[in-house]
């Protein structure tokens, strides 16, 4: 894993980043990735090197590559190539290293928050959810939950993805519902409870993780006791 030596490293443009990336030291490589994501205006070059290093033998470098991809989403928004970035991060959810898996979830959240269409359009959102690609649907499900003001439409649309064949969309609908339920006075319909009950037993760890997170948020922000839905096993 990396160390605190990055405090002594300095980013001086692309050439310094390339020198770090060509190093045999994991800490220098990781610094080069993150510094590039934060400073290099050529997001396409940064995207390429981050994706390349997401396959690195070092779990620390892989995690820093994912952090860099999250920074790209936060800084550049929807212009980054979501069709390349999201599928790779989703693959990293199954990484052998716990830290890499956790970093994958954090980076996916950065993309959800910062890579939606601006400004939000209901018509565009519904069109994307009807015939868009998986990565675009992944972003749009969250954005609809956060920005759609017709709450029944938002909730009903999100719930249609509860049995989608792609685990990422089953997870994204939960994140969208979290925006609706924890920020607004929306009735906790039985359909939502049923969906979460099944999500806690989903085949994929990411879906189960998002369901647990939403249930804990509901308990915190709404005071609802859903202890009967809480899984007894830990992961």
On whether residue 85 sits in a domain, the answer given is yes
User: Given 67, 91, 114, which residue is the final one in a domain?
Assistant: 114
Distances from the Cα of 148 to the Cα of 117, 123, 219, angstroms: 13, 11, 23
Give 190's pLDDT tier (boundaries 50, 70, 90). Answer: confident
On whether residue 46 sits in a domain, the answer given is yes
What's the number of domains the chain is made of?
Answer: 2
Instruction: Judge if 73 and 26 occupy the same domain.
Output: yes
d(CA 7, CA 16): 15
What is the domain-level CATH number for residue 199? Answer: 1.25.10
d(CA 147, CA 137): 15
Confidence at residue 99, expressed as pLDDT on a 0 to 100 scale = 97
Instruction: Judge if 99 and 160 occupy the same domain.
Output: no
Distances from the Cα of 100 to the Cα of 32, 89, 112, 138, 211, angstroms: 18, 10, 18, 20, 20
d(CA 217, CA 226): 11
Average pLDDT over residues 43-48: 97
What's the whole-number average pLDDT of the chain? 91
On whether residue 154 sits in a domain, the answer given is yes
Question: pLDDT tens digits, residue range 63-79?
Answer: 999 999 999 999 999 88
User: Given 56, 86, 114, which residue is the final one in a domain?
Assistant: 114
On whether residue 235 sits in a domain, the answer given is no
Question: pLDDT tens digits, residue range 124-147?
Answer: 999 999 999 999 999 999 999 999
Q: pTM for the whole thing?
A: 0.90
Give 234's pLDDT tier (boundaries 50, 70, 90). Answer: very low
Look at residues 154, 64, 79, 67 and name the one whose alpha carbon lies nearest to residue 115. 79
Percent share of the chain, pLDDT over 70: 89
Q: Which of the residue ranges 35-39, 72-76, 178-182, 226-230 would you say has the lowest mean pLDDT?
A: 226-230
For residue 231, is pLDDT > 50? Answer: no
Look at residues 162, 158, 171, 161 and name the one whose alpha carbon lies nearest to residue 207. 171
CB 132 within 8 A of CB 172: no
């Amino acid at each position: 894993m990396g160390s605190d030596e990055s405090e002594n490293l300095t980013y001086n443009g692309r050439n310094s980043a390339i020198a770090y990336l060509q190093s045999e030291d994991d800490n220098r490589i990781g610094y080069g990735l993150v510094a590039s994501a934060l400073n290099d205006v050529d997001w396409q070059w940064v995207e390429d090197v981050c994706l390349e290093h997401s396959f690195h033998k070092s779990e620390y470098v892989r995690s820093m590559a994912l952090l860099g991809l999250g920074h790209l989403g936060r800084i550049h928004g929807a212009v980054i190539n979501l069709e390349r970035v999201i599928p790779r991060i989703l693959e990293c959810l199954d990484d052998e290293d716990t830290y890499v898996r956790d970093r994958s979830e954090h980076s996916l959240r950065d993309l959800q928050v910062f890579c939606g269409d601006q400004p939000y359009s209901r018509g565009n959102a519904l069109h994307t959810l009807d015939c868009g690609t998986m990565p675009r649907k992944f972003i749009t499900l969250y954005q609809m939950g956060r920005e759609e003001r017709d709450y029944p439409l938002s909730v009903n649309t999100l719930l249609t993805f509860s049995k989608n064949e792609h685990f990422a969309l089953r997870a994204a609908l939960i994140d969208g519902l979290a925006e609706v339920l924890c920020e607004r006075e929306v009735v906790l319909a039985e359909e939502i409870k049923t969906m979460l009950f099944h999500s806690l037993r989903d085949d994929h760890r990411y879906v189960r993780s998002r369901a647990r997170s939403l249930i804990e948020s509901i308990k915190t922000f709404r005071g609802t006791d859903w202890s009967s839905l809480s899984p007894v096993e830990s992961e």
